[in-house]
Amino acid sequence: MASNRKSLLNPMMKQRARLADTPMRQLFEEDKNRFKTFTASAGDILLDYSKNRIDQKAMDLLIDIARKAGVEERRKAMWAGQHINVSEDRAVMHMALRYQGDKPVKVDGKDVMPDVRAVLAAMKAFSGRIRDGSIKGSTGEAFTDVVNIGIGGSDLGPAMVTLALAPYTRPDLRLHYVSNVDGAHIHDTLKGLDPRRTMFIVASKTFTTDETMTNAASARAWIANALGDAAVPHHFAALSTNLRACADFGIKSDRIFGFWDWVGGRYSVWSAIGLPVAIAVGFDNFAAFLRGAYEMDQHFLKTRLDRNLPVIMGMLGVWYRNAWGFPSYAVLPYDQRLSRFAAYLQQQDMESNGKSVTLEGKPLDYESGPIIWGEPGTNGQHAFYQLIHQGTTVIPADFLIAANPHENMAPHHDKLVANVLAQSEALMLGKTKEEVVAELTAQGLDKARIKELTPHKVFPGNRPSNTLMYPKLTPEILGALVALYEHKVFVQGVIWNVDSYDQWGVELGKQLAKALLPKVQGTAPAKGNDASTIGLLRHFHSLRGQ
Ligand code: F6P
């Protein structure tokens, strides 16, 4: 018997069947108001979703499904501090971190805003003093390089934002991000740095993550070797919910910035985890980033579902995943500074909705989160767009573009804009056989050659995309964009009835790595594993010996 959710999603199949033979090209020809009908805005961000396989009837159904699945009730429950992260029994309150109002925001009966504001004030003071050089290293020199050591949510968010906001950074204060346990990462990062002028920020919600602790220990040794043990407290700060472990590591209490268990790792860039961003771009710009997210929160909380950007984007994703069976989704920013945006969204989306049981622990009888990937345009055009245009699988995509660049460098930005518009147009329109033949005939090719070439040059078209357009990639706009995707993931999690805020799927690999380490190090015998793992261990040891 189909689950309730499956029954709720099923009517999409009828709409799909109805639309299957009507390409978007035709929908555009038939409805001159299509752009007007299928665009919506949140503040300065415009979402054009007209190049999707939808008409009003299909959209009405998608919004109806969102309503029936309880998106509004669940949204209310999240903001009321209910423990919607059921498997970890936690509230999900990252919106409190950027809340700009003056009402109390309660989690388990306690107003969290005084603590949130106290940490923001401490971050402001600390980042300001690093930036003005009044906090110095052990030898009395100001810091020129700050290395954030963290992984997952304690890395991807601040690393992505620092890169995105590069126009707001200073050349004399450089931020670096070390995440991988691969020693190459920290080795190559530290290679050009001067320990006297280097500050480390150890960012870890739990302060137990092996990669981060291993990198932090290497960083500490690097400082101690160069400047002596006593220098360590001058060169380290920590961002964590585990204040005791930070102190045990040797970090001074006024350099420990806390947050709380109701902030998920992948939703933590707004918390103390954003400290490296505040150092890089200045606290005022970090505050603007929070304000932008707050504006998107207000849009999400208050706008009716059919005009609500996260709901529209979320439901279109559900449409393609569950009605059309498309397994992946591309995010394609036409902005070089958003080159880590897709990587950031991979964790935000795939760690949230890459689940196969319901909130109640029952197996899903429908698909959940898609594979998220992407690279900035125009580079992607010269790599994987061939498959997006002519491959056998359909990959819905989001294009992102700012109207104004930060640089005054004509004609770069106009070319960038022409390219992003061209791509969504090409994907939607395609190129028919007749058009190809006409084109080749006009080029003077003979009939035989035209026949030979035509199948290769036909584009199926009818490939869906959204375009997000905004005035400029400012801190406010970036904050709003990140919050938009957070809420999109929330909406989809409600539809799929999964716990979007746990991540048990990362545990098994961690456990096995821990058990394998002595076998890799040769302090335990290579036995008790499957034949492949034992074979690889033995081969590894034979290569090691060479
Ligand atoms: O990948 C699993 C995970 O728990 C993420 O959710 C988290 O962002 C990351 O590890 C890092 O965790 P921590 O901040 O506790 O070091």
* Per-residue pLDDT reduced to its tens digit, 209-247: 999 999 999 999 999 999 999 999 999 999 999 999 999
Residues carrying an active site annotation: 351, 382, 510
User: Residue 546: pLDDT above 90?
Assistant: no
pLDDT at 491: 99
- Pocket perturbation via mutation, ligand 1, pick of 151, 204, 271, 501 by most ligand atoms within 8 A of CB: 151
- The reply to whether domains 2-69+303-403+413-498 and 107-287 share a CATH topology is yes
Smallest CA-to-CA distance from 84 within 53, 107, 117 is with 107
Tell me if 266 CB under 6 Å of ligand 1: yes
Cα separation, 166 vs 154, whole angstroms: 19
Tell me if 503 CB under 6 Å of ligand 1: yes
Q: Ligand 1 centroid to 249 CA: how many Å? A: 19
Q: What would the mean pLDDT of 515-524 be, rounded to a whole number?
A: 97
pLDDT at 5: 96
Residues 337-364 have pLDDT tens digits of 999 999 999 999 999 999 999 999 999 9
Cα separation, 85 vs 97, whole angstroms: 17
Q: Ligand 1 centroid to 154 CA: how many Å? A: 7
The pair of structure tokens assigned to 427 is 């994907």
Residues 356-394 have pLDDT tens digits of 999 999 999 999 999 999 999 999 999 999 999 999 999
User: Residue 431: pLDDT above 80?
Assistant: yes
What pTM did the predictor assign?
0.98
Tell me if 154 CB under 6 Å of ligand 1: yes
Tell me if 467 CB under 6 Å of ligand 1: no
| Lowest mean pLDDT segment, chosen from 212-216, 325-329, 383-387, 542-546 | 542-546
Which residue's CA lies nearest to atom 9 of ligand 1?
A: 152
Residue 330, CB-side half-sphere exposure with 13 Å CA sphere: 25
pLDDT at 497: 98
Please identify, by atom number, the ligand 1 atom nearest to the C-alpha of residue 240.
Answer: 14
Residues for the chain: how many in total? 546
CB atoms within 10 A of CB 477: 24
Give 367's contacts (C-beta < 8 A, 6+ positions apart). 321, 322, 325, 327
Q: Ligand 1 centroid to 114 CA: how many Å? A: 26
Q: So where are the chain's domains?
A: 2-69+303-403+413-498, 107-287, 505-543
pLDDT at 545: 77
Cα separation, 498 vs 351, whole angstroms: 12
Tell me if 152 CB under 6 Å of ligand 1: yes
Q: Ligand 1 centroid to 406 CA: how many Å? A: 33
CB atoms within 10 A of CB 200: 26
Which residue's CA lies nearest to atom 8 of ligand 1?
A: 153
Which residue's CA lies nearest to atom 6 of ligand 1?
A: 265
What percentage of the chain carries pLDDT values higher than 70? 100
Q: What would the mean pLDDT of 155-174 be, rounded to a whole number?
A: 98
Cα separation, 165 vs 183, whole angstroms: 28
Contact predicate 406/472, CB 8 Å: yes
- Pocket perturbation via mutation, ligand 1, pick of 503, 508, 510 by most ligand atoms within 8 A of CB: 503
Residue with tokens 């923001």: 120
Smallest CA-to-CA distance from 18 within 476, 324, 269 is with 324
Q: Ligand 1 centroid to 24 CA: how many Å? A: 41
Tell me if 214 CB under 6 Å of ligand 1: no
Q: Which amino acid is it at 111?
A: D
Q: Ligand 1 centroid to 409 CA: how many Å? A: 40
Multiple choice CATH, 107-287, 3.30.70.360, 3.40.50.720, 3.40.50.1000, 3.40.50.10490: 3.40.50.10490
User: Residue 193: pLDDT above 70?
Assistant: yes
State the pLDDT confidence band at 487, using cuts at 50, 70 and 90: very high
Mean pLDDT of the chain: 97
Tell me if 205 CB under 6 Å of ligand 1: yes
Residues 78-100 have pLDDT tens digits of 999 999 999 999 999 999 999 99
Smallest CA-to-CA distance from 140 within 276, 249, 255, 231 is with 231
Q: Ligand 1 centroid to 209 CA: how many Å? A: 7
Could you tell me which residues are beta bridge partners of residue 465?
397
Q: Ligand 1 centroid to 486 CA: how many Å? A: 17
- Pocket perturbation via mutation, ligand 1, pick of 87, 206, 504 by most ligand atoms within 8 A of CB: 206
Residue with tokens 């849009």: 299
Q: Which amino acid is it at 294?
A: Y
What percentage of the chain carries pLDDT values higher than 90? 99
pLDDT at 488: 98
Tell me if 241 CB under 6 Å of ligand 1: no
Q: Which amino acid is it at 388?
A: I
Tell me if 206 CB under 6 Å of ligand 1: yes
Tell me the torsion sign for CA atoms 501, 481, 115, 199. Answer: positive
**98 SS3 class:** helix
Residues 110-160 have pLDDT tens digits of 999 999 999 999 999 999 999 999 999 999 999 999 999 999 999 999 999
pLDDT at 2: 76
Cα separation, 45 vs 312, whole angstroms: 14
pLDDT at 157: 98
Measured CA to CA in angstroms, residue 155 lies from 180, 205, 347, 476 at distances of 10, 11, 11, 20
Smallest CA-to-CA distance from 151 within 355, 376, 351 is with 351
- Pocket perturbation via mutation, ligand 1, pick of 214, 506, 507, 510 by most ligand atoms within 8 A of CB: 506
* CATH class of the domain defined by 2-69+303-403+413-498: alpha beta
Which residue's CA lies nearest to atom 16 of ligand 1?
A: 204
Cα separation, 214 vs 17, whole angstroms: 54
